[in-house]
Amino acid sequence: MGFSKSKSGQAEIIVIGDEVISGFIVDTNSKYLGQRISELGMRVLCITKIGDDFSEIKESVEKALQRSDWVILTGGLGVTHDDITKSVVMKVFGSNLRRDAKVEAMLQENFSKRSGNIPESVQSQCEVPDNCHVLYNEVGTAPGLRFEKNRHVLFCLPGVPHEMKHLFEQYIAPELIKNSTKAFSQRILRTTGISEADLWARVGSLTRLQNKANIASLPSHLGVRIRLSCLEETKDKGETLLDEVEQSLMKTIGPYVYGKNNETLEAKVGQLLKDKSMTLATAESCTGGLIGHRLTQISGSSKYFKEGFIVYSNEAKVSRLGVDQKILDSHGAVSEPIARLMAEGVCRAAGADIGVSVTGIAGPTGGSEEKPVGLTFIAVSDVFGTWSGKYIYTHDRIKNKERVAQTALNLVRMRLLGLLEEKK
């Protein structure tokens, strides 16, 4: 469901550069602009990315100005042969060049600190279209440009991210705020341990909820983020609507939601451990210490994280955790009995209240017909008993390690919340 049209108008973003559409560089500008424009109460209609082609840029700018109140273009304002944005927009607005004394003075001051006079190659930056408002750039050499035609506004910004952000915040954000009549509200629900398809199957029809807010599904190999957002007359009204949508979703998928906005799973686990005055130890084989790394990313984790064992070899599993060699020989390292013994063993060895273990075949080699690449067993043990589970991931070694660490942390979270019962 899209935002309803409002007096705030709508904006769109144009990103220029062959290097962007070829994938040679990652476009972070449109992400930043889209987020900030939305936060300021404007609807972003679309984002267009095009190469350094004069006619294509011209056509895109002209069409954007016909359908949107605000157009923000980034890229192509430099001094190399492929920086053609200025010449394109001059054609669109029928401009001539004039020399801007302030731009020249700023450039002279800039270069006097480095090499002296303004290089000949940069002199063209002093020439600006005569019918635009100049956005003076204190952090770079290329000034931004503001054009207006039939009450439709075009901003041209440099493609260098820190220059683009500076000019946006100094010139564009205040103007958007002044012209916006809506307040933007947003909330992210972070889920893990359930596939995107299963998650929305549990939720069912979204029609009623989408009448209150936009609901976007953002899946990754670590879980699904649910983005709730709305534009309303006041911030309070927007937050009330998001509360209603969140409460409805939590009734069906609550156990899978571990946090909101920027909260992390490891921070949630740490908070639960602190709340319960419990300690945790880890026994990692296929993840090579990744679980412990994530836990110790949180300041204050020494209060609850006792110890981590990286027991990559069979010998380490036996000598460090007391795993029974006979069971290891009988079932193999990647097996449910060994995962359980590892979790129980790390609790004993570290004197921890709860232990989590992982053992698996990360890949892309090492698998067999009986035990394929991605096969993983995870166990969680505490004074009440031991829970264990079998998982099969993919052939991607890095993602497998990340998935296993995520699953292990989530199982600890669920155990602490009383959502895991010991298998008999």
Q: Are residues 25 and 166 in the same domain?
A: yes
Domain end (from 260, 285, 314): 260
Q: Are residues 54 and 163 in the same domain?
A: yes
pLDDT for position 4: 36
Measured CA to CA, the distance from residue 360 to residue 68 in angstroms comes to 53
Burial (CB count <10 Å: 0-12, 13-18, 19+), residue 59: middle
pLDDT for position 136: 97
Pull the structure tokens for residue 362: 């990360």
The amino acid at residue 261 is: N
pLDDT for position 345: 98
Domain end (from 229, 260, 291): 260
Q: Within 13 Å and on the Cβ side, how many CA atoms surround 192?
A: 23
**Residue 112 neighbours by CB distance under 10 Å:** 11
Residues of the domain holding 189 = 183-260
State the greatest distance between any 2 C-alpha atoms of the chain, in Å, as a whole number: 86
pLDDT for position 84: 95
Q: Element (H or E) spanning 214, and its range?
A: strand 214-220
Measured CA to CA, the distance from residue 89 to residue 156 in angstroms comes to 9
Residue 326 lies in a domain: yes
Q: Are residues 274 and 246 in the same domain?
A: no
Q: Are residues 83 and 170 in the same domain?
A: yes
CB of 185 closer than 8 Å to CB of 238: yes
Exposure string (b/e) for 75-87, b if CB count within 10 Å is 16 or more?
A: bbbbeeeebbbbe
Q: Are residues 229 and 284 in the same domain?
A: no
pLDDT in tens, the chain (424 residues): 333 344 458 999 999 999 999 999 999 999 999 999 999 989 999 999 999 999 999 999 999 999 999 999 999 998 888 889 999 999 999 999 999 999 999 988 888 777 667 777 788 899 999 999 999 999 999 999 999 999 999 999 999 999 999 999 999 999 999 998 889 999 999 999 999 999 999 999 999 999 999 999 999 999 999 999 999 999 999 999 999 999 999 999 999 999 999 999 999 999 999 999 999 999 999 999 999 999 999 999 999 999 999 999 999 999 999 999 999 999 999 999 999 999 999 999 999 999 999 999 999 999 999 999 999 999 999 999 999 999 999 999 999 999 999 999 999 999 999 998 755 4
Q: Helix 397-416 to helix 265-275 angle, to the nearest 10 degrees? A: 30
Q: Are residues 173 and 188 in the same domain?
A: no
Measured CA to CA, the distance from residue 367 to residue 334 in angstroms comes to 10
Pull the structure tokens for residue 193: 């341990």
Q: Are residues 73 and 191 in the same domain?
A: no
Q: Are residues 14 and 163 in the same domain?
A: yes
CB of 217 closer than 8 Å to CB of 269: no
Q: Look-up: residue for tokens 């990692």?
A: 284
Q: Alpha helices of 74-126 — where are they, by DSSP H?
A: 85-93, 101-112
Domain end (from 179, 201, 234): 179
Q: Alpha helices of 84-172 — where are they, by DSSP H?
A: 85-93, 101-112, 161-167
Question: Beta strand pairing status for 305-310 and 354-360?
Answer: unpaired
pLDDT for position 171: 97
